[in-house]
Structure 1
Amino acid sequence: MADHRNRVLLLESLILLICCIAVNGNIPPNCSDFQTSSWRNVLQRLGLNVQFMLLTRRNPDCAQPVNNNRDIENSNFNTSLPTKLIMHGYRIMGSKPSWAETLAQELIRAMDVNVVVVDWIIGSTALYHNAVQNSALLGLKVSTLIKNLISHGSREKSFHLIGISLGAHVAGFVGRMFNGKLGQITGLDPAGPKFSKASVDERLDPSDAVFVEAIHSDSDQFGISRPVGHIDFYLNDGQDQPGCARPFSSSVYKYLICDHTRAIYLYISSIKNHCPLVAYPCQTYEHFRSGGCIDCNNHSLQSCPRIGLLERAGLSADVQPKEVKVYLMTSSDSPFCVKHFLVEIFFQQLGPYDQSVELTFLSSNQSNISNLQLTIPNKQSSERTMRKVIPYARFGNVDAITIERLSSWRRKRYAVHIEKLRVSELPLNDRERPPSCIDNIVIHKKIFFEQFANCF
């Protein structure tokens, strides 16, 4: 908990070193754009200054204001189309979110929808606890906007609120004002500080919309760890994300928020790219990694949910989940999706000592696609089978393997005997993907190499 507070304090202290500069880009005249904030705004105690900006396929590059009824009537807002509201969270530097335009554009390309971007930069900048206090007022203003849009002909179920960090809890507050009748809420790494121990009335909750989903990517720092939706996606256990542990390759600020913002960029990628981001229901990430949750039919959801714009994450309307944890691994770069493979090792003969080995799985062109380090038990162990789930970040199959012995030089090396090594692509209930095997592996030397074949 101390590390959690220290990281938040470090972010806030960066404000003292950064003078915020407005970056408007090449915005056409008469088009709305984000405001920017600075310490001068904080000292002047400006109000929330929220504004709502509409983008549609008729005006994809020039946002129209929809702050009141007159704006709505003079805009391209179409009451017959679904409406997606994007709400950013805490903005330490008072600048425009770099991902906001990309997310809005990808939504418009994927669907014929109204996209309303909520700008509350002024009220979300400076100290975090002030932004938390302002979030309640923001919720009231967003609720007023939705009521105005409904009065023009929109339906409650046509609204999809996409809240980032603190914005996810604002979405929950808005949803409660409509008694949970809004269509959907997507929380992208909902904020943890000030909300981890909050009641259901003070944070995002499954009752806030017809369907609530959350994507967790930084649950040990800036994000919340507990489930807050009908379905909660945990990326790589919801904590440390691949490619983010590089403090010297980017600015300190970007390094600190890398895990937290991964949920945003992965969600954008799920809209833009067609490779599936399939997650597996499980009680814990460790149980998932050990091969305990690999069948998409053998649980209450009846299928494996997917991240993206699928209705109800691709689940059947007959299924009524609540706070179901689902896990998936990802790669370090866009499009982030990976295949999941179950590796099963059946031992024939064990030596007197534990032995460590590293398995390197290879593609058809011999490129390294995944690594797995294992400790093979000694002959006194009752364990004769090991199961692990590995990620595969390329499109293709696992075709070969090398095995390197890592045993200590102080102990005599004994041959490693493996009766069968089987690799199966998940989910296991897919009969169109037969497993591959290697039989009767005996490793006397340091490195073993062999290609997989069909299992018999």
Structure 2
Amino acid sequence: MPLWEPNYLFMDSDLGIRIPVGHVDYFVNGGQDQPGCPTFIHAGYSYLICDHMRAVHLYISALENSCPLMAFPCASYKAFLAGRCLDCFNPFLLSCPRIGLVEQDGVKIEPLPKEVRVYLLTTSEPPYCVHHSLVEFYLQKPRNKDTNIMVTFFSSNVTSSAQITIPRQQLQGRGVLAHPNPHCQVHQVNLKFQASHWVWRKDRTTIVGKFCTAPLPVNDNKKMVCLPEPVNLQPDVTVCRDLKIPCA
């Protein structure tokens, strides 16, 4: 069995190919602009080459560092960020693919499926790897408008954020948050209800709900950790809570 299979890293859909072409196709940060790279053409050559060269740097980092660059199969980047793709059961039978010199990218099924889109987030600096977490918020009562909540993790002076959107008339919203440190090293979470602002009116509703989180892949509910008490969120006011997440 060869160590290498024809898999591809997608880094910049503006200047590269957009369709799946390998057994496993990695769409890093959605296969769009990479964090830390110039976003304006005025940067010249760096604007053209930075996103593409990130693929080389990612692979080198995967060889030199122990933290995994793990990806998750999903229909789209939007669905991945919305927390709709939490495991690797379909089609990999729970073995999530990883970038690096790993037999079949860590996928333990034969034959390998073809043209599977997988998604992962990274940081802007080496070693680039992050630990993906599911973040969820459950409202006690549905609302007549979308509810946006900003979630921020804290660990060792490192912060990472993601937004949860709860659609109108629904109780649950979820998202994926990428943090440089393992899930069990996150010791604090900040929650902020991002109220809608209109010229003539401001949303002053206080929402009440339950916050939960779990590391990806989520194969069952045993990894889920929830705050012990419901959280009251006033518009544009940050609420801080301690997190106690056991290490495996």
Cα separation, 1, equivalents of 2:101 and 2:79: 28
Q: 1:454 to 1:260 in 2, by over 3 A?
A: closer
Cα separation, 1, equivalents of 2:144 and 2:91: 43
Show the counterpart of 1:360. Answer: 152
Q: 1:268 to 1:454 in 2, by over 3 A?
A: closer
Q: 1:227 to 1:412 in 2, by over 3 A?
A: closer
Tell me how far 1:394 sits from its aligned partner.
Answer: 2.6
Q: 1:294 to 1:218 in 2, by over 3 A?
A: same
Asked whether 1:452 is paired with 2:243, we answer: yes
Q: Percent identity?
A: 38
For 2:192, which of 391, 396, 404 is the aligned residue? 404
8 Å CA contact 1:437, 1:454 repeated in 2: no
Cα separation, 2, equivalents of 1:321 and 1:397: 35
Q: How many residues align?
A: 239
Once the two structures are superposed, residues 24-47 of structure 1 have per-residue CA deviations (whole angstroms, 9 ceiling, x without a partner) of xxxxxxxxxxxxxxxxxxxxxxxx
8 Å CA contact 1:234, 1:328 repeated in 2: yes
AA in 2 matched with 1:218: D
Cα separation, 2, equivalents of 1:324 and 1:416: 39
Tell me how far 1:358 sits from its aligned partner.
Answer: 2.4
Show the counterpart of 1:385. Answer: 172
Show the counterpart of 1:212. Answer: 6
> Pairwise mapping of residues 339-358 of structure 1 onto structure 2 (< 5 A)?
339-351=131-143, 353-358=145-150
Show the counterpart of 2:34. Answer: 241
Show the counterpart of 1:423. Answer: 213
> Pairwise mapping of residues 267-286 of structure 1 onto structure 2 (< 5 A)?
267-286=59-78
Show the counterpart of 1:254. Answer: 46
What SS does the corresponding residue of 1:358 show, helix, strand or coil? strand
Show the counterpart of 1:304. Answer: 96
Q: 1:358 to 1:368 in 2, by over 3 A?
A: farther
AA in 2 matched with 1:219: S
- Scaled by the length of structure 1, the TM-score of the pair is 0.48
What SS does the corresponding residue of 2:91 show, helix, strand or coil? coil
AA in 2 matched with 1:406: Q
Asked whether 1:324 is paired with 2:111, we answer: no
8 Å CA contact 2:11, 2:34 repeated in 1: yes
8 Å CA contact 1:351, 1:416 repeated in 2: no
What SS does the corresponding residue of 1:390 show, helix, strand or coil? strand
Tell me how far 1:323 sits from its aligned partner.
Answer: 0.9
What SS does the corresponding residue of 1:226 show, helix, strand or coil? coil
Aligned-residue Cα RMSD (Å) equals 2.6
- Scaled by the length of structure 2, the TM-score of the pair is 0.85
AA in 1 matched with 2:206: A
Cα separation, 1, equivalents of 2:243 and 2:181: 17
Cα separation, 2, equivalents of 1:453 and 1:272: 31
Show the counterpart of 1:266. Answer: 58
Tell me how far 1:355 sits from its aligned partner.
Answer: 4.7
Cα separation, 2, equivalents of 1:284 and 1:352: 27
Once the two structures are superposed, residues 77-100 of structure 1 have per-residue CA deviations (whole angstroms, 9 ceiling, x without a partner) of xxxxxxxxxxxxxxxxxxxxxxxx
Q: 1:214 to 1:369 in 2, by over 3 A?
A: same
Tell me how far 1:369 sits from its aligned partner.
Answer: 2.2
Q: 1:443 to 1:233 in 2, by over 3 A?
A: same
Q: 1:312 to 1:344 in 2, by over 3 A?
A: same
AA in 1 matched with 2:33: D
What SS does the corresponding residue of 2:112 show, helix, strand or coil? coil
Q: 1:306 to 1:324 in 2, by over 3 A?
A: same
Tell me how far 1:382 sits from its aligned partner.
Answer: 3.0
Structure 1 stretches lacking a partner, 5+ long: 1-156, 158-182, 186-210
Q: Which has the higher strand share?
A: 2
> Pairwise mapping of residues 101-180 of structure 1 onto structure 2 (< 5 A)?
none
What SS does the corresponding residue of 1:349 show, helix, strand or coil? coil
Once the two structures are superposed, residues 231-287 of structure 1 have per-residue CA deviations (whole angstroms, 9 ceiling, x without a partner) of 111101111111113559x95201221111111110111111111111111121122
Show the counterpart of 2:161. Answer: 371
8 Å CA contact 1:301, 1:319 repeated in 2: no
Q: 1:261 to 1:430 in 2, by over 3 A?
A: farther
Cα separation, 2, equivalents of 1:376 and 1:282: 20
Cα separation, 2, equivalents of 1:220 and 1:246: 12
AA in 2 matched with 1:229: G
8 Å CA contact 2:70, 2:99 repeated in 1: yes
Tell me how far 1:376 sits from its aligned partner.
Answer: 4.7
8 Å CA contact 1:232, 1:325 repeated in 2: yes
